[in-house]
Amino acid sequence: MAAWMTLNGTPPLVIAHRGASGDRPEHTLAAYDLAIALGADYVEPDLVPTRDGVLVARHENNLIDTTDVGDRPEFSDRYTTKQIDGQTCSGWFTEDFTLAELKTLRVRERLPFRDQSFNDQFQIPTWEEILILVRQAEQTTGRTIGIYPETKHPSYFQSMGLPIEAPLLQGLTQYGYGHPHDRICIQSFETQNLQDLRSLTRLPLIQLIGQATERQADSDRPYAELLTPEGLAAIAQYAQGIGPDKRWIVPSHPTDAGQLLPPTDVVDRAHACGLWVHPYTFRNEPQFLHPAYATPGQEYHQFFRLGVDAVFSDVPREAIAARESLA
């Protein structure tokens, strides 16, 4: 491309979604390490607390689909049902385990159609272990490697007396992060905790925006309200960017007939408010790739040409190759 259409005119960034989660079990040090080796600009850990208040990386606090906890008879009595953000969930939950107990578990690939050969090899990593991995990788590679943590279910954990914000920021401060130009983005689907974080840190914040059928857990607002001119202007008061579901940018055909509708103007409107646009999630498998695209590269190319500032990708090597082919 003669010129990138991103907010700052720089090439779009590649965020390794849960690490290189298309090739290794998600949220493991192995997945983050592979993402770094492949050249990802950021690694993305989702953070949830243990019973003793230590942040660990899991996409959900429910361990049922990503660990061997169901095969551990010593934890059978921890199985329970909870209401989390309006959803009924049954399983084993991080907030019911100490860190020492969680460290006895082993991680498994969540999706049955992905490689299962790495099952039961890795532990659940802590926030601090991820920070150490990134700092060591920076020394080894000479690159600046970004970290893109998400606060999962912050109002739920706040109500339990296990707030995420303080240990998140404590870890960042301990490992030398704090300047607004540090390659850190803190993301959340909720608004209140981002506004609270704005008063505590100068680091960039990202407002995640769920699907059109979903509502915010903390406000019960439809996500569509966040993408109105008034909503984007309000976000710009406390955040540096938005992370929308990619179908807000390129909608699919309402009858799911294998067609895509013309792109919306979400990217342009967000840029007009000075906001970065980091859509999610880009994946390779036919179960995820819209049939309108013959290859994953075609999807990346469309979004890069529309001016997105970054993409969340399960397969960072694919996103990087697509970016290089346009550059």
Q: What angle separates helix 296-305 from helix 316-326, to the nearest 10 degrees? A: 60
322 pLDDT above the threshold of 90: yes
Average pLDDT over residues 35-48: 98
Asked whether 97 and 51 are in contact (CB, 8 A), the reply is: yes
CA–CA dist 263, 122 (Å, integer): 41
Chain-wide mean pLDDT for the chain? Answer: 96
Q: What is the mean pLDDT of residues 41-70?
A: 98
pLDDT, position 39: 98
How far apart, in Å, do the first and last CA atoms of the chain sit? 5
Q: Mean pLDDT throughout 277-281?
A: 98
Q: What is the DSSP string of 138-158?
A: HHHH----EE--EE-SHHHHH
Spatial distance between the Cα atoms of 304 and 291, rounded to a whole number of angstroms: 19
| CATH T-level topology, domain 13-61+106-326 | TIM Barrel (3.20.20)
Q: Where are the alpha helices (DSSP H) in the chain?
A: 29-38, 99-102, 127-141, 154-159, 165-174, 192-198, 229-235, 266-272, 296-305, 316-326
Better-scored residue on pLDDT, 207 or 86: 207
Please tell me the predicted confidence (pLDDT) of residue 281. Answer: 98
Give the Cα separation of 238 and 251 in Å (integer): 27
Q: Are the C-beta atoms of 130 and 147 separated by less than 8 Å?
A: yes
Gap between the Cα atoms of 293 and 250, Å rounded: 12
CB 130 within 8 A of CB 58: no
Q: Tens digit of pLDDT for each residue in 146-179? A: 999 999 999 999 999 999 999 999 999 999 999 9
Residue with tokens 């899991």: 58
What is the pLDDT at residue 300?
A: 98
The mean per-residue pLDDT over the stretch 83-88 comes to 94
Q: What is the pLDDT of residue 2?
A: 61
At residue 253, the pLDDT reads 86
Nearest-angstrom CA–CA distance, 217 and 209: 11
